[in-house]
């Protein structure tokens, strides 16, 4: 596989999705984020809403609850089926051409499969809370509670399917603090490493 892929893993509210799109625009390559949901829904037969709600978050709040949730006699779940389709779609996109892929364990899926720059975007709680209020508006939960819940679910999903620790710097080539550096500087840094 000769294509160069950039994977962006991120804390909720860190701007990883925006950074991924900006990086792709700078490089003139596609960015797959919401488009992945459509492709996974198409191939799996599940609705886009179901895939969007389930594909990157563990069913329960912890690893143990995820391990036993909605499993059949053979230990399979709808979540496992989504994982299989997601993996196949990400591998196909990587073979198709150079691109940026945001989230969905793409860093793990493409490890050893592609020429891949693996990036993790993080930021301090205050910057992330401000960003989600600006981006998604006010909700009943405090922004900090929403951030912690989303990150906890992402971590449980990642840890379950990859057997690696989400956010561990050893799993990525580059870790950037978007709160300290800014969204544009992060995108510029990633594009320059491409």
Global confidence as pTM: 0.86
For the chain, what are the domain ranges?
4-193
The architecture (CATH level 2) of 4-193 comes to 3-Layer(aba) Sandwich (3.40)
Of 15, 48, 14, 20, nearest to 33 by C-alpha is: 20
Section 35-61 average pLDDT: 76
The answer to whether the beta carbons of residues 105 and 162 sit under 8 Å apart is: yes
pLDDT in tens, 67-98: 555 555 556 677 888 899 999 999 999 999 99
DSSP 112: T
Residue 182 to residue 184: CA distance in whole angstroms: 6
Kind of pairing between the strands at 115-122 and 4-10: parallel
Cα 182 to chain centroid, rounded: 19
């Amino acid at each position: 596989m000769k294509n160069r892929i950039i994977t962006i893993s991120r804390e909720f509210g860190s701007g990883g999705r925006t950074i991924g799109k900006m990086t792709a625009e700078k490089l003139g390559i596609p960015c797959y984020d919401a488009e992945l949901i459509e492709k996974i829904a198409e191939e799996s037969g599940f609705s886009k809403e179901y895939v969007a709600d389930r594909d990157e978050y563990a069913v329960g709040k912890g690893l143990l609850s995820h391990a036993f949730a909605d499993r059949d006699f053979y230990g399979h779940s709808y979540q496992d089926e989504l994982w299989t389709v997601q993996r196949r779609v990400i591998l196909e996109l990587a073979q198709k051409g150079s691109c940026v892929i945001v989230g969905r364990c793409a860093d793990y899926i493409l490890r050893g499969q592609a020429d891949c720059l693996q990036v993790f975007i993080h930021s301090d709680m205050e910057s992330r809370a401000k960003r989600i209020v600006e981006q998604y508006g006010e909700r009943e939960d405090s922004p900090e509670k929403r951030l912690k819940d989303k990150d906890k679910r992402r971590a449980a999903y990642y840890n379950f399917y990859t057997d690696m620790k989400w956010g561990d710097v050893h799993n990525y080539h580059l870790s950037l603090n978007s709160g300290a550096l800014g969204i544009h500087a992060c995108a510029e840094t990633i594009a320059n490493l491409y």
